[in-house]
Amino acid sequence: MPKLKRADTEWNDILRDFGVLPPKEKTKDEIEETVLQLQKEAEGKMNLEELKETEDDFDEADRKAIQIYRYKWKCLQRRQKYGKLREIHGEQYVKEVTNAPEDVWVIIHLYQSSIPVCLLVNEYLSLLAKKFPEVKFLKAIVNSCIQNYHDRCLPTILVYKTGEIKGRFVGVDECGGIYLKVEDLEWKLAEVRATETNLEGNPKKDIMITLSVQNIFAHEDTNTKTVM
């Protein structure tokens, strides 16, 4: 039975070549194959501009495939462009931060390598940059951007969007404290909407509740010993 079905398909294809039958509608698999083919051609031969110039030669299904591809291509380019914590200098600040694309969140850490918490923040931002490759993560030695900036204000994390500061964390306490964890930093960035976290709640809040309970029991234990 399968052989008859295949023969019928091949015969129909011959009839379509001679115009006896109307063109066969593309199946979902064929459309996906077209997308893959367009991707290969674009990666090997054409950029997006060249692909746009030849778009008139495609049918409606191909045009939809190109739109999907173009979106995926831009996402891929952004992932390749970001995805890591990059070092910049003061003279690059305007270009890299203030004048960044309007749809891109920019997170910049002003730091000193002599301050341990700053190094910890850099380590965690590197991890978050991989987790959120669509966000631009940067770091800069503070003196290259701001002269006479006080060490007590470090680390300083600034969050930008459309050239404006949308959030800021100045000093050890605002950045999460000396016992900072990567989840704490991720939550802080999510609170200013720079990232979309999958964390269910503020990690610091759970720690604070635990510490409060411990303090209550410690206080009660001290009172008991005093009475005895």
Q: What pLDDT digit, counting tens, does each position of 53-74 carry?
A: 665 666 677 777 777 777 777 6
> What percent of the chain is predicted at pLDDT more than 90?
48
Residue 201's pLDDT band (boundaries 50, 70, 90)?
confident
Residue 203's pLDDT band (boundaries 50, 70, 90)?
confident
The mean pLDDT value for 123-133 works out to: 95
Say what the pLDDT of residue 211 is: 39
Q: How far apart are CA 88 and CA 8, in angstroms?
A: 65
Alpha-helix runs per DSSP H in 110-181: 116-131, 142-145, 171-175
Which residues fall within 8 angstroms of residue 133, CB to CB, at 6 or more apart?
78, 79, 82, 83
Instruction: Compute the mean pLDDT over every residue in the chain, rounded to the nearest whole number.
Output: 78
Q: pTM score, two decimals?
A: 0.60
- Per domain, the residue ranges of the chain are 86-205
Q: How far apart are CA 116 and CA 118, in angstroms?
A: 5
Say what the pLDDT of residue 39 is: 62
The mean pLDDT value for 202-211 works out to: 57
The residue count of the chain comes to 228
Residue 182's pLDDT band (boundaries 50, 70, 90)?
very high
The mean pLDDT value for 155-180 works out to: 96
Domain 86-205 class in CATH: alpha beta
Pairing mode, if any, of strands 156-161 and 106-111? antiparallel
Q: Contact 156/109 with Cβ under 8 angstroms?
A: yes
Question: What's at 30, amino acid-wise?
Answer: E
> What percent of the chain is predicted at pLDDT more than 70?
60
Q: Which of 159, 168, 119 shows the shortest CA–CA distance to 138?
A: 159
Q: Contact 139/199 with Cβ under 8 angstroms?
A: no
Q: Contact 159/110 with Cβ under 8 angstroms?
A: no
Phi, psi at 112, each rounded to 5°: -125, 130
Say what the pLDDT of residue 213 is: 40
Count CB neighbours of 137 within 10 A: 25
The mean pLDDT value for 102-128 works out to: 96
Say what the pLDDT of residue 215 is: 47
Q: Which of 98, 51, 99, 96 shows the shortest CA–CA distance to 72?
A: 51
Q: Contact 149/162 with Cβ under 8 angstroms?
A: no
